[in-house]
């Protein structure tokens, strides 16, 4: 993938080297900290939809509920340093892929949906940091926080993709970023709040999980839409790049991950989709280049 000519995003917040930064969040005392049951239910739903540990979301909400007593305070010098463009290869790569998603979505989202695109910010960190959803930890993998509209990425995840999942290549890593930006697209379109409402009404964890799968498969499809439109304009990828994305999608399918960890898969517990589903929906977006092709909620074959 020829990414070096892409524009670097200015919406990068580089917190690497600042230490863990996750203290004070989580699920303090194992209780609900005075949160109402309705709030807890909503946070549980957000956790199902985004893949974020619900305890972390509840912990973050507790801090807000206490008037932001442990809200991160950043001095101007630190804030200025965070906003500087990364100079290392991994940081430059993340900034340029994010910049390209901005260039693509700012053009095609209004044309295809009538909605203006408001960019997300990508937070680069090492080990752990604070997010609007509570503590961000490298072990969680990349995620989108709908509460602060930011994507969180510890770039060491790219090395984990190589060593743990056997997946490598620039476009495989770009697919991961594009998938998280896909969740931001869902937020811009108002899809995430509607799913949260539907999950409130779900009669079982199985039904809630099925909704989560559809959200994740849509994000895969939106990553494909980005790839198609980016390549049409910049011609920066070839078939080998698409193969890299498909290998990545396959490697992180729920069935494959469960088989590796416990020896068997439990489809009712899937939250992101099987390897086959994730590859299929990425290709659905890539072949069409159209946001409307990603409606996994109307597609009978999504599950």
pLDDT in tens, 97-130: 999 999 999 999 999 999 999 999 999 999 999 9
Higher pLDDT, 280 or 41: 280
Of 178, 86, 191, 105, the residue nearest 146 (C-alpha): 191
Residue 50 — very low, low, confident or very high, per pLDDT cuts 50/70/90? low
pLDDT in tens, 269-303: 999 999 999 999 999 999 999 999 999 998 765 65
Residue 13 — very low, low, confident or very high, per pLDDT cuts 50/70/90? very high
pLDDT at position 117 is: 98
pLDDT at position 244 is: 96
pLDDT in tens, 171-187: 999 999 999 999 999 99
pLDDT in tens, 69-93: 344 567 777 788 888 999 999 999 9
The pTM score is 0.83
Q: How many CB atoms lie within 10 A of CB 82?
A: 16
- The mean per-residue pLDDT over the stretch 237-241 comes to 96
Strand partners, 153: 124
Residue 47 — very low, low, confident or very high, per pLDDT cuts 50/70/90? low
* pLDDT surpassing 50 at residue 64: no
According to the 3-state scheme, what is the secondary structure of the chain? CCCCCCCCCCCEEECCCCCCCCCCCCCHHHCCCCCCHHHHHHHHHHHHHHCCCHHHHHHHHHHHHCCCCCCCCCCHHHHHHHCCCCCCHHHHHHHHHHHHHHHHHHHHHHHHHCCCCCCCEEEECCCEEEECCEEEEHHHCCEEECCCCEEEECCHHHHHHHHCCCCCCHHHHHHHHHHHHHHHHHHHCCHHHHHHHHHHCCCCHHHHHHHHHHHHHHHHHHHHHHHHHHHHHHCCCCHHHHHHHHHHHHHCCHHHHHHHHHCCCCHHHCCCCCHHHHHHHHHHHHHHCCHHHHCCCCCHHHC
Q: Angle at CA 103, nearest 5°, toward 167 and 289?
A: 65
pLDDT in tens, 169-226: 999 999 999 999 999 999 999 999 899 888 888 889 999 999 999 999 999 999 999 9
Q: How many CB atoms lie within 10 A of CB 194?
A: 12
Contact yes or no for 259/265 (Cβ under 8 A):
yes
pLDDT at position 300 is: 64
pLDDT at position 43 is: 55
Q: How many CB atoms lie within 10 A of CB 147?
A: 17
pLDDT at position 254 is: 94
């Amino acid at each position: 993938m020829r990414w070096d000519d892409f524009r670097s995003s200015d919406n990068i917040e580089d917190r690497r080297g600042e230490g863990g930064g996750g203290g004070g969040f989580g699920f303090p005392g194992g209780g609900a900290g005075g949160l109402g049951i309705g709030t807890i239910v909503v946070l549980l739903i957000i956790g199902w939809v985004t893949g974020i540990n619900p305890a972390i979301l509840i912990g973050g909400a507790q801090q807000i509920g206490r008037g932001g007593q442990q809200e991160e305070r950043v001095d101007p010098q630190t804030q200025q340093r965070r906003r500087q463009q990364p100079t290392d290869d991994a940081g430059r790569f993340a900034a340029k892929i994010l910049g390209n998603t901005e260039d693509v979505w700012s053009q095609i989202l209004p044309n295809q949906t009538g909605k203006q695109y408001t960019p997300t910010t990508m937070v680069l960190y090492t080990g752990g940091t604070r997010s609007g959803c509570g503590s961000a930890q490298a072990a969680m993998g990349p995620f989108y926080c709908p509460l602060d509209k930011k994507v969180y990425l510890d770039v060491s995840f790219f090395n984990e993709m190589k060593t743990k999942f056997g997946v490598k290549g620039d476009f495989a890593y770009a697919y991961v970023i594009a998938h998280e930006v896909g969740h931001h697209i869902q937020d811009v379109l108002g899809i995430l709040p509607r799913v949260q409402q539907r999950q409130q009404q779900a009669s079982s964890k199985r039904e809630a999980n099925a909704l989560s799968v559809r959200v994740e498969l849509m994000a895969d499809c939106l990553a494909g839409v980005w790839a198609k439109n980016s390549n049409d304009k910049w011609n920066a990828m070839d078939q080998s790049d698409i193969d890299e994305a498909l290998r990545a999608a396959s490697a992180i399918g729920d069935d494959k991950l469960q088989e590796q960890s416990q020896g068997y898969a439990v489809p009712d517990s899937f939250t992101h989709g099987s390897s086959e589903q994730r590859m299929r929906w990425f290709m659905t977006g890539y072949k069409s280049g159209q946001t409307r092709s990603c409606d996994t909620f109307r597609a009978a074959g999504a599950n």
